[in-house]
Amino acid sequence: MLQPKGRVVMVSGANRGIGLAIAHGLLAKEYDLSLGVRDPDGMAETLTASPPQRLSIHAYDARRADAGAAWVAATLAQHGRIDALVNNAGIHRRTRLEDEDESGLDELWEVNVKAPLRVIRAALPHLRETGCGRVVNLASLAGKRVIGEAIGYTMSKYAVVALTHQVRRSGWDDGVRATAICPGFVNSDMAAALTEEPSENMTQPEDIAELVATAIALPNRASVAEMTVNWRYEVTL
């Protein structure tokens, strides 16, 4: 396993839910973090109390085309290196196949697909320099099978899985490894808006945080391309 001490991990969408759990988990394992969030002033006090050499917080709006490159530059200025990137920020919009209004689809594509692509593009040269760079993309089981009518979200998460495999292919010879984590419902605000399933039955944010830490720590010789994670049995998975 790769040792966390001194390794710098970028995490997007760390204000709450899964992203906040990832940040807490990685800090506890002694990684240094650069967090990209829409509202830096709204960060949890338990995180902002960390020493500045171990944690930096940066404004990051996934809807802005220049946000990824700016966040990478700020991370390098603060920490001097980038060892791993966790693309967690994402949105859900109700879009059906028959809907002619494509505004929701456009927003899903901008935030869920183009935003992580832009951050990866900016960070990749620095991930290559380490010889063991890591990219973890939070996808979804919606990127592995089609259930219901959320065609825009499903398309975006299929694209995130494809993006992950392209990163693996492009960065492999330089030690860059990429993993798509594909959960079903996770106890979060997003899931609460989509299902009446009791929150205690779902996968918990801390469970996903542990899987992210595992993907980052695995050595180059033990790369895992995808992790499918579910709280219930599905015959197709």
Q: How far apart are CA 225 and CA 227, in angstroms?
A: 7
Q: How far apart are CA 210 and CA 231, in angstroms?
A: 15
**Active-site residue list:** 153
For residue 216, is it within any domain?
A: yes
For 5-63, the pLDDT digits (tens) are 999 999 999 999 999 999 999 999 999 999 999 999 888 776 766 777 899 999 999 99
CB 236 within 8 A of CB 145: yes
For residue 3, is it within any domain?
A: no
Overall number of domains in the chain: 1
Q: How far apart are CA 77 and CA 138, in angstroms?
A: 26
For residue 220, is it within any domain?
A: yes
Question: What amino acid occupies position 119?
Answer: V
For residue 179, is it within any domain?
A: yes
**54 lies in which domain range?**
8-229
**37: CB partners within 8 A, 6+ apart:** 12, 13, 14, 15, 19, 43, 57, 58, 59, 60
pLDDT exceeds cutoff 90 at 1: yes
For residue 39, is it within any domain?
A: yes
For residue 1, is it within any domain?
A: no
For 121-165, the pLDDT digits (tens) are 999 999 999 999 999 999 999 999 998 889 999 999 999 999 999
Angle in degrees, CA 234, 178, 218, rounded to 5: 90
Residue recorded with tokens 């959320």 = 150
For residue 111, is it within any domain?
A: yes
For residue 235, is it within any domain?
A: no
On the 0-12 / 13-18 / 19+ scale of CB atoms within 10 A, 100 is exposed
Q: How many CB atoms lie within 10 A of CB 44?
A: 13
- The CATH code of the domain that includes 200 is 3.40.50.720
CB 82 within 8 A of CB 75: yes
At 52 the pLDDT is: 74
Pick the closest to residue 140 from 215, 237, 10, 39 (CA basis).
237
For 61-72, the pLDDT digits (tens) are 999 999 999 999
